């Protein structure tokens, strides 16, 4: 049997990380930094809900050492419903197959066989559904997944000249005309947002801080009917943020009421002089004006830290996500285009979860970029 598909042993994980570094094209024009084994362990072995489920495809030939030619994994993550019920889910990660193996063994559907092994193990583990983000919807549809909806990207320019320099470094092959058009868009974005970002003072009962607390209670006070949410308890936040080995700085901004209860939380990530709004959560009783003023205060704080560009990825899939997008539009965020697909596959016939019932944010990403 030339290709053997099986669950990987912990003793094989070094080979997995070497395979990742080899197939991620480290020497391409925009180089990917080689992943260390300790970073691999953080991402897949030290997860808050147990080790990842990892399958590998091995090329096995008589008289030769077995060679890893493909991997697929899922990370176990809990969701929480508005009634407090917890649901075990799995997020797809690290699907890689050596192109030479695909050509050599074209009669073997390596990806489908890897997926079958992972799904079987997920069902044994009690996972209700698989989910993730992808840019190859046809492939996932072939594997029986639903490509439910696409994300939307938005930007807010805080410092136009600095933002222009940053974006041109990301697109070094742009022509002079393309750079001119980009400069116009950046300038218009800044002008559109300028009048909306003045900070208005308001005396109210809320207290502002920059701590980072578990937010499951806040979600339940924010959720619309039948919504579920990635459980971001102390264990999850410690793993994703405190123990994160990558050069990403996370910042949290919170509002608390007179009873010291969380009524709003915004989490941002910062890389160099660009920030991402990772997630926003607001108690249902917090009015629109209070939400806007809270966000304006955050934007002013980021501008004072010399952040030139604020980015955001949102979804139009349910009332909570739509309200978040509309709130940011009201502050001058400009939506620039579509991003990845959200992928979903139900594994349990008894599960009543639908993809449109999941509140989504960048906090659902692995936190490596």
Q: For 125-155, how does the pLDDT look when each residue is reduced to its tens digit (9 = 90+)?
A: 999 999 999 999 999 999 999 999 999 999 8
pLDDT of amino acid 29: 45
Topology given in CATH for the domain delimited by 3-127 = Aminopeptidase (3.40.630)
> Is 315:133 a contact under the CB 8 Å cutoff?
no
What are the residue boundaries of the structural domains of the chain, listed by start? 3-127, 152-341+354-364
pLDDT of amino acid 347: 96
How many Å apart are CA 42 and CA 32, to the nearest integer? 18
* Residue 183 C-alpha from the chain's centroid: 28
What are the DSSP calls for 281-347, one per residue? EE-TTS-HHHHHHHHHHHHHHHHHTT--EEEEEEE-SSHHHHHHHHHHHHTT-EEEEEEEEEEEEE-
pLDDT of amino acid 90: 97
pLDDT of amino acid 334: 86
Angle at 202 between CA 196 and CA 208, to 5 degrees: 95
Superfamily of segment(s) 152-341+354-364: Gcn5-related N-acetyltransferase (GNAT) (3.40.630.30)
269: β partners: 250, 276
How many Å apart are CA 279 and CA 317, to the nearest integer? 15
* DSSP-derived 3-state class of residue 224: coil
Extract the residue ranges of the chain whose pLDDT is less than 50. Answer: 26-31, 178-183, 195, 199
> Is 176:168 a contact under the CB 8 Å cutoff?
no
Domain 152-341+354-364 in the same topology as domain 3-127: yes
């Amino acid at each position: 049997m030339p290709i053997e598909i099986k669950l990987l042993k912990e003793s094989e994980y070094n080979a997995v990380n070497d395979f990742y570094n080899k197939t991620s094209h480290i020497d391409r024009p925009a180089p990917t930094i080689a992943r260390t084994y300790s970073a691999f362990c953080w991402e897949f072995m030290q997860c808050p809900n147990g080790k990842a489920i990892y399958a590998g495809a091995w090329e096995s030939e008589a008289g030769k050492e077995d060679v890893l030619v493909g991997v697929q994994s899922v990370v176990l993550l809990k969701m929480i419903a508005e009634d407090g019920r917890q649901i075990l889910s799995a997020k797809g990660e690290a699907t890689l197959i050596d192109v030479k193996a695909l050509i050599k063994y074209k009669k073997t559907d390596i990806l489908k066989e890897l997926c079958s092994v992972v799904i079987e193990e997920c069902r044994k583990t009690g996972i209700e559904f698989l989910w993730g983000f992808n840019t190859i919807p046809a492939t996932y549809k072939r594997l029986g997944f639903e490509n439910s909806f696409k994300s939307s990207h938005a930007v807010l320019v805080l410092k136009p000249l600095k933002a222009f320099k940053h974006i041109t470094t990301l697109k070094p092959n742009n022509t002079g005309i393309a750079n001119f058009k980009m400069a116009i868009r950046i300038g218009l974005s800044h002008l559109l947002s300028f009048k909306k970002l003045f900070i208005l003072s308001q005396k109210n009962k809320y207290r502002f801080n920059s701590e980072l607390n578990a937010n499951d209670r806040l979600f339940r006070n924010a959720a619309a009917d039948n919504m579920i949410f990635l459980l971001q308890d102390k264990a999850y936040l410690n793993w994703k943020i405190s123990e994160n080995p990558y050069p990403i700085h996370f910042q949290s901004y919170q509002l608390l009421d007179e009873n010291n209860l969380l009524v709003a939380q915004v989490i941002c990530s910062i890389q160099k002089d660009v920030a991402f709004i990772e997630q926003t959560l607001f108690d249902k009783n917090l009015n629109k004006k209070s939400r806007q003023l809270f966000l304006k205060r955050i934007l002013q704080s980021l501008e004072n830290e010399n952040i030139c560009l604020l980015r955001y990825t949102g979804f139009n899939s349910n009332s909570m996500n739509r309200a978040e997008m509309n709130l940011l539009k009201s502050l001058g965020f400009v939506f620039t285009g579509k991003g990845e697909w959200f992928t979903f596959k139900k594994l349990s016939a008894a599960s009543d979860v639908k993809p449109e019932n999941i509140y989504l944010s960048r906090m659902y990403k692995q936190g490596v970029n």
